[in-house]
Amino acid sequence: DAKTTQPTSMDCAEGRAANLPCNHSTISGNEYVYWYRQIHSQGPQYIIHGLKNNETNEMASLIITEDRKSSTLILPHATLRDTAVYYCIVSNSNDYKLSFGAGTTVTVRA
């Protein structure tokens, strides 16, 4: 059973903010939201995670709704190198069976 749902694909203009949505309506209280991305066929790369507060790091911002049923990853100034597949997963410290869905294919266009 998929714990998250994401759009299959989206385009973004270079230099603009990219807002990537994720629905996780069945998230439980101790589950974190994680975002990863995969460029070409490289190993997925961790971006950011959060529990209920909004988070920001050097790569992105994570906005989690108050009811925690959805979140948005924001790439503030998308570059061509941000073209990748972005995965949203929910997990707690006891989740050892972790699989990723198909993610969102983000294409940044010049």
Residues that bind another protein (CB under 8 A): 32, 34, 36, 41-46, 49, 87, 91-93, 96-103
Token pair in block for residue 50:
């959060």
Q: Which is nearer to another protein, 26 or 30 (CB)?
A: 30
Quote the least distance from Cβ 46 to another protein, whole Å.
4
Phi, psi of 68 (to 5 degrees): 65, 15
Whole-Å CA distances, 74 to 80, 92, 94, 101 = 15, 22, 27, 19
CB of 20 to another protein, least distance (A): 16
CB of 28 to another protein, least distance (A): 14
Nearer to another protein, 46 or 109 (CB): 46
Nearer Cβ to another protein (1/66): 1
Q: How many CB atoms lie within 10 A of CB 56?
A: 13
CA distances for 13 relative to 5, 27, 36, 48, 53, angstroms: 23, 32, 21, 22, 28
Smallest distance, another protein to C-beta of residue 9, A: 12
